[in-house]
Structure 1
Amino acid sequence: MKKIIIALTVLTATSSMALTVGKVDVQKVLLTIKESESIRNKLKAEFDKKQNEIKKEEEKLVKERADFEKQAMVMNEQTKQKKGQALQQKFMALQQKMQKYQGEMQDMEQEFKAPVLKKIKDVVEEISKAKGVEFTYEAGTTPLLYVKEVVDLTADVIKDYDKKHK
């Protein structure tokens, strides 16, 4: 929000001059550039590996629960309660493991994206200068309510990024 206010102040202060505003859809750039495909493949491989591990553990627990339910009829109350609690703890441990893996995947995604986002920023800066754009904003996160004319730099950023970072 602070950036928007500063940008609007700059726009207002320079209203007597012609101001060229550019926009870039960074999400589209991330989805389109060739380098992102290798990142998605790495993340998918890691996700599949973790998902298979979780699935195996879940199947084992489901079988264990089915066995418990069959045997529960002949167990005394104390044994039934003890085994039921142990089974419940195993399910809770599995849920915690799933949450841990989800956090690890998000961290890994950020780790892979950080250098790409830096390169995108550099390309945006270069294209903005080349096109004479004084102010460039990210289209997906900075909604400007009104700008007389906006130059969409997204396609140029994708093309230049792929050219420079093969």
Structure 2
Amino acid sequence: MSTVVVRAITKEDFSQWSVLWEGYNHFYERSGPSALPEAVTLSTWDRFFAADEPVHALVAEQDGRLVGLAHYLYHKTTSRIEASCYLNDLFTNPDKRGQGVGRALIEAVYEQAKLAGSSVVYWGTHETNETAQKLYRQVADRSGFILYKKILAS
């Protein structure tokens, strides 16, 4: 098995990234009638390369093929002076799961957060995502917090 390399995303990655992004959205049932508008995808992509945006992306590459992605962002909070790092999206190709890709991406986000001066990385997952939770229990502590959301009409 060849090595997985985690690196910053580049503009040349769009076609492969978009396949992973589509898989991620499909996993979370944001496809078909619930699909994200293309404008959201294109805006997300542009944010990765905008100097004034706090949103960043890493990709995992193996044998010239992207096999995973991690999107993360920094934000201020009332509980610490330095910015917190939120791991917004994490996705590994289904045929690569259980092979260390997700772990490598998470560890790379940890490293980027340290370099940025952040003292915490946190994320959430769906309660039914048992596969991911097996990994998460190995690389982080469960916070005990429950996430709520309310979609506001525009």
TM-score, normalized by the shorter chain, greater than 0.5: no
- Decide which structure has greater helix share: 1
Structure with greater Cα Rg? 1
User: What's the TM-score, normalizing by structure 1?
Assistant: 0.25
User: What's the TM-score, normalizing by structure 2?
Assistant: 0.27
